[in-house]
Chain A
Amino acid sequence: MQTPGTYISAVGHVGLIGWLLLGWGMQSQPLPMEVMDVSIMSGEEFEQMMAARTPDPGDAPPTAPVQPVIEETPAPPVAETPPEPAPPPEPVAPPVVETPPPPAPEIPPADVTDAAPVAPVPPAEPVPAPDLPPSDDPTQAPANRIASTPTAPPPPDAEVSDIAREAVVPDDTAPAEVAVPEQEATAPEQTATEIVIADERPRGAVETSIRPVARPARPAPPAPEQETTTADPTPDPAPTPAPVPDTSDAVADALAAAVASSSAPAVQAGPPMTGAEQESFRLAVNSCWNVDPGSMASLVTVAVGFELNRDGTVVNNEVRLLSSSGDQSAINIAFDAARRAILRCQRGGYQLPADKYDQWREVVITFDPSGMRSR
């Protein structure tokens, strides 16, 4: 019995088989392929070929049997040294990024007004911009006093409190029980080192950060007096005694310059590197400074300078000889040893505190081997 379904199935199958056989809509063309000829060559042929391709076969004169030394090596192929130009991708411009706190300029309008009732401080200047690039001023950034990254463990005498104490508020509800006498001069872990640093800072830094507005007011030489007056709200009729005849301009200028110079770098420079940080840097270079105590170079002291990238690597691997004394060939060798030490030990970059980059961006190291000669 043949049902309609059978017919439909038969027709469908026949159609499908026919379509497959005819291949309508399918590509029968072979895919395009690229064919390359491969030839086999010996190792010698390969070397010859490579030698021929090297830029400058300066070894032409081997036939010349002349005894004297012949200067013949062409440097070019060596100079290219492909592998290493990569490393210094200096983050030149964006240093702003890492100084976390918002720059000083914002502070003036709000803070000054409500913090101090100083009335007539000229608020007009919205221009803190010209003298300082706001970002790299760590002293104005209170947040910098608390280490943003886990720092070295606190000094041994300061015990880290393992309990977070919030009990400063006198809570009367609880009876005066145990009163936990663990009360020591403990501090949260992050602040320990930075507080020490803050103490080393020049005092002026703190004041100027509170009142950034006051500083724009000193455009010219008379600045010092004005600043003193603005600092004191007490209306002093004769704030600038200005003893007319004898305080010569030179002295006033010197004072003004001193005040200006003392305030400006204090704003620009970050917290100074601690002794421990400098020592660890020194030790890092130490371990690669190879001294030959029997050489003439061990009689020479050299000072070298270089710049560091933010990752602690030497900029362009460039080390400059700054000063030296003694025999020139000995100086050259002493300088080579110093340069080798700095470049060898940088490896992936010297480990230096990133937030103090301005302090170690430029480095001058004096290599003094006098103590090594007697070994």
Chain B
Amino acid sequence: MKRLLTLLIALMLAGPALAQGGPLRLTITDGVIEPITFAVPTFEAENPQAGQLASDLTRLVAQNLSGTGLFREVPANAFISQVNSFVQPVAFADWRAVNAQALVVGAVSVNGDQVNVKFRLFDIFSGQELGSGLQFAGTTAGWRRMGHKVSDAVYSRITGEGGYFDSRVVFVAESGPKDNRLKRLAIMDYDGANVQFLTDSSNIVLAPRFSPRGDQVLYTSFESGFPRINLLDVANVGRRQIATAPGEMSFSPRFSRDGRQVIYSLSNGGTTDIYRTDLDTGQHVRLTATPSIDTAPSLSPDGSQIVFESDRSGTQQLYIMSSSGGDARRISFGEGRYSTPVWSPRGDLVAFTKQNAGRFHIGVMRTDGSEERLLTSSFLDEGPTWSPNGRVIMFTRETQGADGASALYSVDISGRNLRAVPIQSAASDASWGPLQP
């Protein structure tokens, strides 16, 4: 007892000492949300032929970064020091003075139709270079891709996540009045540039989906009068119909993660179920068997689970089941109807379309249904698709009325930076492809 008392006294005496020793400790839980400022002086043209290209590449990099909403460019007229050479020492104090947090320095050389682009990235406030310099070589015709590559590298080094600039999107290009709309498949860069058509408008096409490697596209065509799944090769635009399980209609296809299987919906006798077909063997597996409409399947990144929509509870809701079928668990419980779920490339979120109280929303939730967040709201928003890094969602927004038209929009998963994708024609049903090699 006495010993205990003594120890107690010892602890009491030591208390203040312990409390006073050591460094000052603080905890910060509340920061700010604002774009990171960056400066990108016009890249150095290493020979006279490279002058215009150096300027164009610089602008493209700046636009890419600013377009994410995560970065804000420091205008050139605010620069204190100029960067005239790629190897010139960086005057960090000057860039600090204009509040640039990152600095991109680059150089371009042109030799015939060959282009070399190199860049370096600096963290101004720590006075250090972020990573090593990189160099890309290509042709003058592909200069935009080189700009996207540089942007991806800069983005990745600053945010720690993969980029998405050097990627393409396949979508349905629309033309004509609403009651007689012509649709055809088209492909473009992520930013709406380089639009090319993959099909003509003789048949209705719907819901194109990129393969994991970006070299093929699955889509639904009404060529035979009924919806059927087709496979299109992007390189030569050759296409063929997929031999699905027997049924009246097949639609809503998606590739498996290895690109060798297709999961899709098959409608037969008033019910719609989810199937899987092996492209090599032609073998079919039925994954759901309920007297309801099960559709819009999307695989998890590891291929072990499928999220899909079903009205088995009376209204459209989201469910998750094993990729081999079996019992499904419902994950959406909010008001309204949920549809078109898409599993995030990161694996942590599911994007969806929600209809509630006469409005449509694009939203995300965790795979257990928690933390649902609605990112958009309009007369009609639908069909989300993820950027390759799981950071941005592109979707279709249609305006109201007889003159209403569809357009593609993108939004950050934080709900910020909503912006229209600049395309000349109306567009819908986008599918974002992977980063190009």
Contacts and interface: CB of A to CB of B under 8 A. Distances in A.
Contact of B159 (A57, A261, A295): A295
Interface string B93-132: 1100000010000010101001010101011011101001
Nearest to A44: B48
Interface residues of B, number: 74
Contacts of B91: 81-83
B246 interface: no
A371 B29 CA distance: 6
A255 interface: yes
A117 to B, nearest CB: 28
B28 A368 contact: yes
A82 B89 contact: yes
A50 to B, nearest CB: 6
Contacts of B11: 258
B178 to A, nearest CB: 35
Nearest to A58: B87
Contacts of A361: 23
Interface string B18-39: 1011111111111111101000
A261 to B, nearest CB: 5
B26 A84 contact: no
A336 interface: yes
Interface in A155-213: 202, 204
B142 to A, nearest CB: 11
Contacts of B89: 77-78, 80-82
A292 interface: yes
Nearest to B135: A70
Interface string A332-375: 11001001110110000000000000011111111111111011
B134 A59 contact: no
Contact of B26 (A61, A70, A258, A366): A366
B17 A261 contact: yes
Interface in B60-99: 70, 84-94
A367 B28 contact: yes
Contacts, number: 245
A287 interface: yes
A269 interface: yes
Indicate the member of B6, B22, B34 with the most A CB atoms within 10 Å.
B6
Interface in A263-285: 264-266, 269, 272-273, 278, 281-282, 285
A330 interface: yes
Contact of A330 (B27, B125, B129, B160): B160
A372 B28 contact: no
A50 B10 contact: no
Given A73-B120, A305-B23, A286 B28 contact: yes
Given A61-B135, A371-B30, 4 more contacts: A67-B137, A257-B14, A285-B28, A290-B34
Interface of B: 2-3, 6-7, 9-11, 13-18, 20-34, 36, 46, 70, 84-94, 101, 107, 109, 111, 114, 116, 118, 120, 122-123, 125-127, 129, 132-138, 158-161, 346, 371, 391, 412-414, 416
27 contacts: A51-B87, A55-B87, A58-B133, A59-B107, A63-B111, A70-B134, A80-B89, A84-B127, A246-B3, A254-B7, A255-B9, A258-B10, A258-B14, A259-B10, A262-B13, A266-B16, A273-B24, A281-B26, A282-B26, A286-B30, A292-B414, A330-B160, A333-B158, A340-B126, A359-B24, A368-B28, A374-B371
Closest 3 CB pairs of A and B: A73-B133, A333-B160, A362-B23
